[in-house]
Amino acid sequence: MLLQLEEMFSGRLGRRFSGGTYRTFLLELYLAEQEGTATFQSCLATGEPPANTHRRSAELAKCGILQRVPDKGDHRRINLSLAPKVRQALDEVMDRIVSAPAPPSADGTGEIGQAAQSRSSPCLGIDTVRQEMAPAVLRGRVVAGGRIALPAPVRHVLGLRNGDHVRFELSGGEVRIQSDRHALRLIQEQLRSLAPLDRPASCELIARRRLEASRGG
């Protein structure tokens, strides 16, 4: 993985921008974009003088590696994003890393490599990835607090917006994902069908029916 990243940064960006500082800078931007998080110039000044970060982003923008665009809602902020060609190069590298065969373990079974691959790609439980035909490789990422950042195609299929919650259903070796709003609608429909028609439902009845619905009963 590290060798592929080294080759990408050296081959696509040149030796000048392949150092550890620039590499970390660009990877942080890439991961933030994958999570749907906006990054501003001031966010990258942690632990060093802001002038150094601003100079670095200006150099990257001048070479067409980085884009700096004034925020439409707040003119004091400068949005930072990767240039399309750099983002595509990183996408290709990540795709190769995710789809690479698992390295063998000490006993030759490859189980350690498979476990590591499944940890690095939380969305392997999606049906399209498990099909025998050419899989659609989708990358996810476990972020702070155990949250999972879902790729844009998955969010689109589920009708999710940033900040929405999802429900994971475990069935054997499969993981199914559905919108929490969809699950809530199902529970509400079940509650309406079970609630008494001649009088308002009590809080106790609603709580009991909600518990039954959440258990699939």
The listed range with the strongest mean pLDDT (27-31, 46-50, 54-58) is 27-31
| pLDDT, tens only, 52-103 | 666 777 778 888 888 888 777 777 777 788 888 888 877 777 776 666 555 5
The full set of domains in the chain, from first to last, is 2-91 (1.10.10.10)
**DSSP for the chain, written as a single string:** -HHHHHHHIIIII-GGG-SHHHHHHHHHHHHHHHTT--EEGGGG-TTS-HHHHHHHHHHHHHTTSEEEEE-SS-TT-EEEEE-HHHHHHHHHHHHHHHHSPPPP-TTSS-HHHHHHHHHH-GGGGSHHHHSSSS------EE-GGG-EE--HHHHHHHT--TT--EEEEEETTEEEEEEHHHHHHHHHHHHHHHS-SSSPPPHHHHHHHHHHHHTT-
| pLDDT, tens only, 92-140 | 777 766 665 555 544 444 443 444 444 344 433 333 333 344 455 566 6
